[in-house]
Amino acid sequence: MSEPLEIACLEEFWASHTGNGPPLDEMVGKLLLDTLGLGNQQVFEQLYLVKPDFAGFVQWILDTAGPPDPRLVDRYHAWLYDMEPGGDAQAQLDAIAAMDDVLGADALAHWDEHGYVILPDAISADEIEAVKALLWQVTEASPDEPESWFTAKTNGIMVPHFQSPALEAARRSPRVHKAFAQLWGSENLWVTIDRIGFNPPVRPDRPFAGSDIHWDASLVQPIPFATQAVLYLSDTAEDQGAFRCVPGFHKRVDDWLAGLNGANPREADLSAEVKHVAGKAGDLIIWRQDLPHAASPNRSDKPRLAQYLTYYSPDMVIRPWR
């Protein structure tokens, strides 16, 4: 057996999802899983399908993600108990604060006006190639065999693979962290442990497997500030399954929602206002959570490869779903 995993609220989290305890605060659970380096999907599959006892759950965590970063555990405990983080953890945040800005005045103006921004060269070319190699491996597809794209092991356009050194490049990139720190106005952020994406060309027998324009956030007003992001792993044209959104919608979403007169906002047709956002390999597209968005049908002859991640503040407001 591995050394015990010493992190606050882990047993309470396990108990809350196995009928052995009351619900845990949602932000505590969110920070706990990201601190442990675990994706939501894999954790809930483990708890609700495998149903391990607590010792088995702890062992699964260590076998799956290994021991967590001590600096992140330190920061998690500091937030939980309203203390200052230790020296190593604080030094990591101070280094991000001391970096030169990675988003210039024009980029920030674009963010304010349109609700999204592109960070170029988020990770290196070699790091991008490592993520692409991982994606081809776990999907059991090949870039040189187009027929394999349509039998790739995916969940829609998502690939539920969460742990790999290749995926850590973007998650631990100071350049990426700095971009989010500029947008949030704070370096004290957590990175999500999210999935990779594979969006093949559409054809008559293989329609688009993604979703239409949507929000991943509650629409209870006012919608709190938060961010989402996708990293292009190859040059991506507008017709290649690119990210799409309704630019500037964040500026009028409250008035728009108020004027619906009881209609379901999630059923509204916003397609006439959609923009497809092309980009280069290494471009990280960051958008506000109140911006309606989606991936798009891929009408090119090449798949779109992507990695999903974002940073968030532990002080972020989480609204009940509506």
Q: Which pLDDT belongs to residue 104?
A: 99
Whether residue 3 has pLDDT greater than 80:
no
In a domain, 268, yes or no: yes
Residue holding tokens 């790739």?
Answer: 152
Per-residue model confidence (pLDDT) at position 40: 97
**Domain co-membership, 56 together with 142:** no
Span 261-275, pLDDT tens digits = 989 999 999 999 999
1 confidence band (pLDDT: 50, 70, 90): very low
Asked whether residue 5 is domain-assigned, the answer is: no
pTM beyond 0.75, yes or no: yes
The DSSP H or E segment spanning 212 is none
Confidence of residue 187 (pLDDT cuts 50, 70, 90): very high
122 with 27, same domain?
Answer: no
Report the 10 Å Cβ neighbour count for 67.
13
Structure confidence by residue, pLDDT tens digits, 202-226: 999 999 999 999 999 999 999 999 9
Q: Is residue 294 part of a domain?
A: yes
**Structure confidence by residue, pLDDT tens digits, 81-133:** 999 999 999 999 999 999 999 999 999 999 999 999 999 999 999 999 999 99
Is the pLDDT confidence value at 48 over 90? yes
CATH of residue 257: 2.60.120.620
Inter-helix orientation angle 70-80/87-98, to 10° = 100
The residue count of the chain comes to: 322
Q: How many CB atoms lie within 10 A of CB 307?
A: 27
The predicted structure's pLDDT at residue 4: 75
Choose among 246, 217, 231, 230: nearest CA to 316: 217
Average pLDDT across the chain, whole number: 97
How far apart CA 209 and CA 157 sit, in angstroms, is 6
Question: Which of residues 76, 94, 112 is at a domain's end?
Answer: 94
Does residue 174 sit in the same domain as residue 285? yes
Using one digit for the tens of pLDDT, what is the confidence trace for 50-69? 999 999 999 999 999 999 99
| Residue 146 φ/ψ, nearest 5 degrees | -55, -35
Number of domains in the chain: 2
